[in-house]
Structure 1
Amino acid sequence: MKILLDKLTWRRNGILVFTILVLLGISNFYGLYTNKFYFLKADNYIFPLLSLVHFLYLYVLWFKITEDELPDPKMRNLEYALYAVMIVYIFKIYDTVTILGSYSQYESHVIPATFKPVAYLSLILYGLLPILTLISFWHRKQLVGKYNFEEYNDNLNIWQ
């Protein structure tokens, strides 16, 4: 685990998460059974909208690390919102597994050849997303600091 965390720096992790979010945002509009993109379905916009929270968290994390700032309550609230968004990520893993499991039910129907490769790629990306998110939380804890605002407020001396 230590080797993985040493190789996966906060920048590499952020780039990976950003790339995965963009790929999943695009593939969220793709219909696995029909091999078409659906831009007029309102359900397809839920994941890209919720991933905006993740993009914002990546930006705040990058800013706090590069500017060597301490964590603040806004960052903590954003991280808590990201915990809720991770529930959606886990649901999307379940949804993709369910779709993959239904393949045998529709073998007699015409299913595009891209069904399995795109479904497996989506499953891998959805599976990596919560893991990389937890790694970014670990990087925040190590590089930015813990959320200990009582001690932070006690040691704040504006006269120095």
Structure 2
Amino acid sequence: MNILLRIFPWKMIKVLSIVILMTLIVLNFYGLYTNKFYFFKFDNYIFPILTLAHFVYLYVTWFKVRENEYPDPQMRNLEYMLYIIMFVYVFQIFDTLYILSSYSDYDESIIPVTFLPVGSLIVTLYILLIFLTLISFKYRKVLVGEYKFMDMNDNIDSWQ
């Protein structure tokens, strides 16, 4: 794991995560079968709302590293929320793979030329996002510190 930390510095992880999240938010509105963007479907807004937690986690980690602060219970809860959101990322991977596997089912229909390339890009970006998220958890542990709240007063609210 230390080799990965040398290959991917913290700033690169932060920037890549933000770029990938923004790209996936845009691609979330894209319809693979129709080659159109759908902005009026309620389902398309779930992923961008969930990514807010990811953006906040990146900001909090960046702030803690910059200010040389210790982790707090709010940061721990945010990280635990990201563990749950990573299941959504995994679901999105399998959902997109399922859509891509239906390519041969629609031989008689006109499927856009961008179907396979954009679908493959979406799957790749989700896999990369999960990978970068796991590395950012390791960076939080190395740069900010572990969650040791038995020694500290758990009632201190450091975000006030």
Q: TM-score range by the shorter chain?
A: over 0.9
- The percent of aligned pairs where both chains have the same amino acid is 59
Gap regions ≥5 residues in structure 2 = 155-160
1:139 matched residue in structure 2 = 139
2:105 matched residue in structure 1 = 105
2:21 matched residue in structure 1 = 21
Q: Report SS of the residue matched to 2:151.
A: helix
> CA separation in 2, counterparts of 1:85 and 1:4?
23
The structural deviation recorded for 1:136 is 0.3
> CA separation in 1, counterparts of 2:83 and 2:3?
25
The structural deviation recorded for 1:113 is 0.4
Q: How many residues align?
A: 155
Deviant stretches of 4+, over 4 Å: none
Task: State how 1:75-86 maps to structure 2 within 5 Å.
Answer: 75-86=75-86
Give per-residue Cα distances to partners, 1:66-125, cap 9 Å, x unaligned.
100000000001001111111100000000110110001012210000111100000100
Aligned alpha-carbon RMSD (Å)? 1.4
Using the size of structure 1 for normalisation, the TM-score is: 0.93
Using the size of structure 2 for normalisation, the TM-score is: 0.93
1:90 matched residue in structure 2 = 90
Task: State how 1:7-156 maps to structure 2 within 5 Å.
Answer: 7-153=7-153
The structural deviation recorded for 1:2 is 3.2
> CA separation in 2, counterparts of 1:121 and 1:32?
11
